[in-house]
Amino acid sequence: MKPLLTTSNHNRDVAGLKYVYPVISRRAGGLSIGVNFNPNNACNWRCIYCQVPDLQRGNAPEMDFGLLEQELRFFLDYVQHGDFFEQFNVGIDNRVIKDIAISGNGEPTSLIDFDKAVRLIGEIASESGLFTSSKFVLISNGSLIHQSTVQAGLAELDRYHGELWFKLDSATETGRKLINNTGQSQQKLIEHLTIATSLCQTKLQTCMLHYQKAWSDSEKQAYLALLRELSNGGIKLQQIMLYSLARKSYQAEAEQLERLSIEEMNAFAADIKALGYDVSVSH
C-alpha cells in the first residue's frame, strides 16, 4: 500500500530520511517540507499535546551538515521533478510546495550552529527556485531567542523573506506551566517577542484545547489583553494562527485533552480581529 499523507499523519520517517520529511499542513494549507533538527526527540519544553513519542528534555544533537544538504537536495528534486505526488497519494489540490519548515521533534533553535543550518537550507531552497512561490518558515517556542546564534539565524531567515511561527499557547505564566511545562516569565515572553519581531516577520501560533483551566474565559481575556499590550508597545505581529488538536498526543495527559469546537474558535478569532489583527483558524 502506498503511504498516504494527510493532516492527521505527520510521521517524520515517512520518506526514510533523517532530517527531511513531507507533511500536509493545516496551517500551511498544503504540502510542507519539514526539516527536523531534533531526531533525538529532545525539547526544552514538554507540551501536553505533543505528538512526539518518547519525548525527552534536552537539546538538538550535533547536525551532520553534509547529510542535511544531501537529503534536502535529493528531496526537493524528487518533489519538483520526480513522482513524489503519485507515490504519496497527494491530492491534486495539494500538489504544490507551500513552504519549507524548520520544525520536527523538539525545539530547533537549541541546535548548535543554528544560524549555519538556516543559511544552508535557505541557499539550497533558493537555488532550487522554491522561494518564487513558497515560504521559508521556522516553528519555534521562542524560548532561546536571547541567544546570539538564534538571532543570527532569524536574520538569515529574514534574508529569504522567511517568517517565524512563535508558539504562544497561553498568555499567562500559570497557563504556560500547565500546557507547556515551562517556567517562562511574562517579562521574558515580551522581551523575546520584541527581539523576534525586530529581526523577521513573526506570527503567533496558538494551540487551543480543553484541559483543566486551559482556555477558560479568564485565559481568553488574558490573551486578548496581551495582544493589546503588544500592539500598544509597537510589537508588530503578522498574524495570529489559531488551531486545535488534530493528532494523538503521546504525553501522559493525552486522554484528558479535548479539541475545541470550531464555533468556539471562530468566536475567539472574532474577538482578536476586533483588536485589528489578522487571524487564521485551523480546526
pLDDT score for 259: 94
Judge whether 114 and 150 are in contact, CB under 8 Å.
Answer: yes
pLDDT digits (tens, 9 = 90+) for 60-111: 999 999 999 999 999 999 999 999 988 888 888 878 889 999 998 999 999 9
C-alpha cell at 126: 533558493
Is residue 156 over pLDDT 60? yes
pLDDT score for 1: 44
Instruction: Classify residue 148 as exposed, middle or buried by CB count within 10 Å of its CB (0-12, 13-18, 19+).
Output: exposed
CA angle 206, 210, 212 (to 5 degrees): 115
pLDDT score for 158: 97
How many angstroms separate the Cα of 84 from the Cα of each of 11, 22, 48, 199, 221?
A: 16, 10, 33, 35, 45
Judged by DSSP in three states, 57 sits in strand
pLDDT digits (tens, 9 = 90+) for 12-37: 455 689 999 998 876 667 889 999 99
Is residue 283 over pLDDT 90? no
Domains of the chain as residue ranges with CATH:
20-282 (3.20.20.70)
Judge whether 239 and 276 are in contact, CB under 8 Å.
Answer: no
What share of the chain has pLDDT > 70, as a percent?
A: 94
Distance CA 116, CA 223 (A): 34
For 56-60, 78-82, 200-204, which range has the lowest pLDDT when averaged over its residues? 78-82
Read off the pTM: 0.92
pLDDT score for 66: 97
